[in-house]
Amino acid sequence: MKRKFLIFGCPFLIAVLLVVAFGFSQSDSAPLITVLSPAVANRLAERLPLAPRLDTLEGKTVYMVDINWGGPEAALSIFEEMQAWFAKNMPTVKTVIKMKRGGYEADDPALWKEIKDSRGDAAILGVSG
């Protein structure tokens, strides 16, 4: 019986003593801890429509953007294969391979501006390798 108390009772008793010692030292109006609610928000985020689909890629410029998730050259070999395929099978399609600056979660406004200003018709953003 003593062994069961030592195994199960002591940790419980120590926890109660810690709550009594530290829990009541704060004022009654201040919370002991702050938590975030895991509940789903009442409304969804604003949804934006996808860009319209191109009828053809012939004569278009396609940017292939490595989002820099797996390291500096994770997608490079795959994008080079894709670029070679386009050159062989769809030679009128111009392909441009770019590496996004920063981590995969960071924005790169300069790259998006470059794609827009140079009249990029499509972009493939991806992780591969």
Q: Buried b vs exposed e over 7-33: b needs ≥16 C-beta within 10 Å?
A: eeeeeeeeeeeeeeeeeeeeeeeeeee
Q: pLDDT tens digit string along 83-103?
A: 999 999 999 999 999 988 887
- Assigned token pair, 96: 């441009």
Structure confidence at residue 38 (pLDDT): 76
| pTM for this entry | 0.60
d(CA 58, CA 13): 75
d(CA 96, CA 113): 14
Q: pLDDT tens digit string along 42-84?
A: 777 788 898 889 999 999 999 999 887 777 667 788 889 999 9
pLDDT at 120 exceeding the cut of 60: yes
What are the structural domain ranges in the chain? Answer: 61-126
